[in-house]
Amino acid sequence: MKHGQPDDQPRTGPELPAEPLALEGYAILHQMFRIRRANWRTLDIDAQNRAVAEAASLLNQMQRRENGESGLFSQLGHKGDLMLVHFRRSFEELNEAEIAIANLELADYLEPTTSYLSAIELGLYEASVALYKDLIAKNVEPHSKEWDAAVEAELARQREKVSPRLYPKIPPRRYLCFYPMDKKREGTDNWYRLGIEHRRDLMREHGMVGRRYAGQVTQIISGSIGFDDWEWGVDLFADDALVFKKLVYEMRFDEASAGYAKFGPFYFAIRSEPGELGKLLISE
């Protein structure tokens, strides 16, 4: 028996490739920091103001970038005080952003609590299954030159169609919920042993839940396999914080989540402007 097929289900032709096609966009870095307040308080107010002004100036420049920007967020809870989210065209540009932050005077008073590296990803389950079936019906051998050329042509077509979703602005909403997640590989609960058509159907059901929250939540999915400890990062942006609770709770009842999802830690933060940085650091 092949993985993802019941014992009593006859195979009627070549099996479809397991891996769905995907498109990648901006590289993303989340940085979370705790303020070393005991050390920060040893500075006089003039030194604090200089450090804040320098950092605010840099963050303002980063926020105004046209081709990949940065956002400042104030975290709630013990997991950190500040969160920076960077969208960039390349990992080299992310590295430059990280170094620029580290070189700030303020960085001496910030303790990194965690970070997360990923790249915006749009999975193409529907298009993949349709393309694979069409190529197999034409007796095109998987991963042959003809197959690979057809795949590249489909990726180019899809990339042109969804380009704004691959390279978006950081959504201008008040609240951010970020969490990493995996698909299970535990005994029979193994996402990667399901056939691609089964996974497509599960993701279609999963997506229908999210569509009911369109207009209330902006979701950005990023892939992190090979980049960080989890497989995907999920950013949810909304102007009503309670919608995060409703959406995530409802999604846990669909089969893709109930049967195959593993969730990492959740981070909640409020969007702040660079000019508001002083309010987060300096007590009058």
Catalytic site positions: 179
Strand intervals (E) in the chain: 21-35, 70-75, 82-88, 110-124, 175-183, 185-186, 189-190, 217-223, 232-238, 261-263, 267-272
* Residue 105 DSSP class: G
Closest CA to 243 of 214, 263, 208, 221: 214
Cβ atoms of 175 and 269 within 8 Å: the answer is yes
Q: Bridge-partner residues for 214, per DSSP?
A: 217
Closest CA to 31 of 89, 110, 109: 110
Chain centre distance of CA 206: 17
